[in-house]
Amino acid sequence: MLKMSATEQLVARMDNPHLAQFGTRDQFIEKSLPLAEKIGRKYLAAAKTKGMDLDDIVSFAYEGLIKAYDRFDSNKTETQNFEAYAYRCISGAIKTGMTQTNVDFRYRWETKQAVIRIYKQDLQDCSVDEVVEKIGLKQTYVEEALSIIKSGKVLSMDAPVKQGQVEDGYILSDTVGREGDYSTVAVEEFMDLLDETEKSIANSLMYGLKERVIAKRMGMKHKEVQERITTIQRKFERYTRGEKGRETDVAQERAHVSVVPPLRKDQHTLTLNDLTVDDYQNLVENGYKDHDIARKYGTPFSKLYAWKREQGVVLPLSEEQYGRYRQQGMTNKEIAAKHGISVATLYDMRQKWGNGYIQQDSCIQPQILNGERKVSDEWFNAVREEKQASELEQLRRKLLEMEEELAGLKKQLAEEKERCQGIRSELDVALRKNQVFAAALKEAL
Q: How many CB atoms lie within 10 A of CB 293?
A: 20
Q: 102 or 1: whose pLDDT is higher? A: 102
Residues 149 and 95 in one domain: no
Residues 110 and 130 in one domain: yes
Residues 211 and 305 in one domain: no
Q: Is residue 191 part of a domain?
A: yes
* Ramachandran quadrant class, 432 (left: phi over 0; alpha: psi -120 to 50; beta: rest): alpha
Residues 240 and 308 in one domain: no
For 13-26, write each residue's pLDDT tens digit: 567 777 777 778 77
Residues 140 and 112 in one domain: yes
Last residue of a domain, one of 101, 116, 131: 101
**Which among 106, 240, 227 has a CA at the least distance from the CA of 161?**
240
Question: What letter would DSSP give residue 173?
Answer: -
Q: Is residue 408 part of a domain?
A: no
Q: Is residue 421 part of a domain?
A: no
Count up the domains in the chain and report the number. Answer: 3
SS (H, E, C) 386-442: HHHHHHHHHHHHHHHHHHHHHHHHHHHHHHHHHHHHHHHHHHHHHHHHHHHHHHHHH
Residues 115 and 207 in one domain: yes
For 406-419, write each residue's pLDDT tens digit: 998 999 999 999 89
d(CA 148, CA 179): 9
Q: Is residue 402 part of a domain?
A: no
Answer yes or no: is pLDDT of 355 > 50.
Answer: no
Question: What letter would DSSP give residue 334?
Answer: H
DSSP 3-state assignment of 353? helix
For 24-71, write each residue's pLDDT tens digit: 877 787 788 888 888 888 888 777 656 677 888 888 888 888 888 888
Last residue of a domain, one of 367, 386, 412: 367
d(CA 82, CA 85): 5
Task: Give, in degrees to the nearest 5, the angle at Cα 82 between 76 and 83.
Answer: 150
In Å, how far are 199, 202, 206, 229, 257 from 225, measured between CA atoms? 12, 10, 14, 6, 30
d(CA 297, CA 285): 17
Residues 109 and 130 in one domain: yes
Averaged over 101-108, what is the pLDDT? 51
Q: Is residue 176 part of a domain?
A: yes
Band the pLDDT of 104: cuts 50, 70, 90.
Answer: very low
Band the pLDDT of 373: cuts 50, 70, 90.
Answer: very low
The residues with which 156 forms a beta bridge, in sequence order, are 175
Q: How many CB atoms lie within 10 A of CB 66?
A: 18
Residues whose CB is less than 8 angstroms from the CB of residue 366 and which lie 6 or more positions away in sequence, other chains included = 319, 353, 354, 356, 357, 358
Q: 166 or 379: whose pLDDT is higher? A: 379
Residues whose CB is less than 8 angstroms from the CB of residue 94 and which lie 6 or more positions away in sequence, other chains included = 39, 40, 43, 57, 60, 61, 64
Give the CA count within 13 Å in the CB-facing half-sphere of 215: 15
d(CA 283, CA 32): 77
d(CA 18, CA 22): 9
Q: 352 or 162: whose pLDDT is higher? A: 352
d(CA 319, CA 146): 86
pTM of the model: 0.27
Residues whose CB is less than 8 angstroms from the CB of residue 285 and which lie 6 or more positions away in sequence, other chains included = none
Residues 96 and 33 in one domain: yes
Residues 228 and 138 in one domain: yes
Q: Is residue 384 part of a domain?
A: no
Residues 247 and 276 in one domain: no
In Å, how far are 2, 190, 363, 382 from 152, measured between CA atoms? 54, 24, 92, 90
Q: Is residue 206 part of a domain?
A: yes
Range of the domain at 75: 12-101
d(CA 158, CA 207): 9
Q: Exposed (0-12), middle (13-18) or buried (19+): which is 36, by Cβ within 10 Å? A: buried
Q: Is residue 30 part of a domain?
A: yes
Residues whose CB is less than 8 angstroms from the CB of residue 379 and which lie 6 or more positions away in sequence, other chains included = none
Domain of 63, CATH number, reads: 1.10.1740.10
Residues 131 and 229 in one domain: yes
pLDDT, averaged across the chain? 71
Residues 140 and 227 in one domain: yes
**What count of residues does the chain have?**
445
- Cα 55 → chain centroid: 38
Last residue of a domain, one of 316, 348, 367: 367
